Amino acid sequence: MLALRLKAWKTEAVLEEVPEPELPPAGALIRVLGAGACHSDLHLMHDFDQDSLRWGLPFTLGHENAGEIVALGRNGFGLEMGQKVAVYGPWGCGHCRRCAIGEETYCENAARIGAGGGGLGLDGGMASVMAVPDNRLLVPIGDLDPVEAAPLTDAGLTPYHAVKRSLHKLIPGSAAVVIGAGGLGHMAVQILKAVSPAKVVVVDTRSEALAFALNLGADETVMMGADASSHIMEITHGQGAEAVIDLVGADSTISLGMQVARTRGDISLVGLAGGSAPFGFFTTRYEVEMASTYWGTRAELMEVIALARAGLIRSHVQSFKLEEAIGAYRLMREGKLEGRAVITPNL
Ligand code: FEH
Ligand code: ZN
Ligand code: ZN
């Protein structure tokens, strides 16, 4: 079968023929119906190296996947052949204390495993068939379109986890700032509107992205720039926001988040741009809580799928054939995608 493979660090992925995978004894084979193209894949191709990620190469890209079960190993209780499922992306050991509570993102044995999951050091979904090592990693999607379900596993789950961290602070009259209205940001806006009464303020450098966010339910938009913080302080009546979700992670966005987080507010740093900002007594308001977050838990993926099945959130996708995947990543790099690019290897 044809697969989009990362063969060397700091090179573009290439399409090549690979053998179809074998059925893992306690897992499943999935006919991939949607494999989301994530911004992190660009970092995998252009920025990371063996020192930053100690994963083996080559591997097939695609860590946001949904499809149909075409072979099922043991322990597939509640699952059946032909069923449509989303694949939980971060694959931990399954039995350490973190994995036991579904927090496989923070698996205690990650270093020993030597990979982050399918598409992250192990073969992912940018091929017609994908092997999933354990059936615990599959979440049925009912009648959701698998092309739209695929991005829920990362572009949906990652901001959902960050929002949940602050949910108790997002009371009526509160405000949440979403920085970056791309693949994750367009989901963050909908998630915030679905689960909280907070006023949602979206920041981006692109006017089209801000218009898109307004369409998805954002209450206010702010153009990123020198005036962004004063604009947000005005919108929040001089108090700042209870939650800042930074989906970019550049020096400028981290600094903006620190300027606009309210006393006792939260900043969740999700974006991988690699920025930083100094932290000291006078750099934020009192008791601002800052955390980096990575993906979300298995139970949270079930919650995200439930939100989508209830019609409360929906990923906006542009689909591309496997042969067009490299072109899709180029569009992403140029900031020309609206919502999420999803590769459909079986179309
Ligand atoms: C992938 C690879 C490396 C770091 C982070 C990621 C995220 O896209 C996972 O959500
Ligand atoms: Zn990702
Ligand atoms: Zn583990």
158 Cβ inside 6 Å of ligand 1 = yes
The 10s digit of each residue's pLDDT in 132-165 is 999 999 999 999 999 999 999 999 999 999 999 9
Q: Where are the domains of the chain?
A: 2-154+296-344, 158-292
The CATH architecture one would assign to domain 2-154+296-344 is Alpha-Beta Complex (3.90)
**Residue with tokens 């974006």, as numbered in its chain:** 271
Q: Closest-lying ligand to the alpha carbon of 272?
A: 1
Q: Whose CA is nearest to atom 8 of ligand 1?
A: 40
Check: CB of residue 39 under 8 Å from CB of residue 64.
Answer: no
Q: Whose CA is nearest to atom 2 of ligand 1?
A: 40
Token output for 306: 């439930």
Check: CB of residue 235 under 8 Å from CB of residue 222.
Answer: yes
Q: Give the separation between CA 155 and CA 79, rounded to whole angstroms.
A: 24
Check: CB of residue 213 under 8 Å from CB of residue 189.
Answer: yes
The 10s digit of each residue's pLDDT in 186-217 is 999 999 999 999 999 999 999 999 999 999 99
Q: Whose CA is nearest to atom 4 of ligand 1?
A: 40
209 Cβ inside 6 Å of ligand 1 = no
Q: Give the separation between CA 271 and CA 282, rounded to whole angstroms.
A: 24
Question: Would you identify the CATH topology of the domain 158-292?
Answer: Rossmann fold (3.40.50)
pLDDT for 222: 98
User: Is residue 337 predicted with pLDDT exceeding 90?
Assistant: no
Given pLDDT bands bounded at 50, 70 and 90, which one contains residue 54?
A: confident
